[in-house]
Amino acid sequence: SYYFPSDLQTYTARTNELVGTLKNVVDVWEIANEINGEWLRVDSNGPDAVAAQEETDIGNMVAAAYDIVKANGGLTSVT
């Protein structure tokens, strides 16, 4: 995609749009790539190295993409 929606509602809408349009063309949907997310933390190695809200949001978006692809009979991949 040419942009990354930063909220669940927009991400879900974009995923539905893509899957609806391309589900008969795409063999495997890469729903996430390098989603470790520690780069979102102030200090990923510090004592307060807990999941930031942005990490949680990304996880929720990946889960939503998975659900959408699977509901449409697609295969998913996370790299």
Q: What is the pTM of this model?
A: 0.79
pLDDT tens, position by position, for the chain (79 residues)? 456 677 899 999 999 999 999 999 999 999 988 776 666 666 666 666 666 777 788 889 999 999 999 999 999 999 8
DSSP 6: -
Residue 28: beta bridge partners?
75
User: How far apart (Å, rounded) are the C-alpha atoms in residues 70 and 75?
Assistant: 7
Pair 65, 31: CB distance under 8 Å: yes
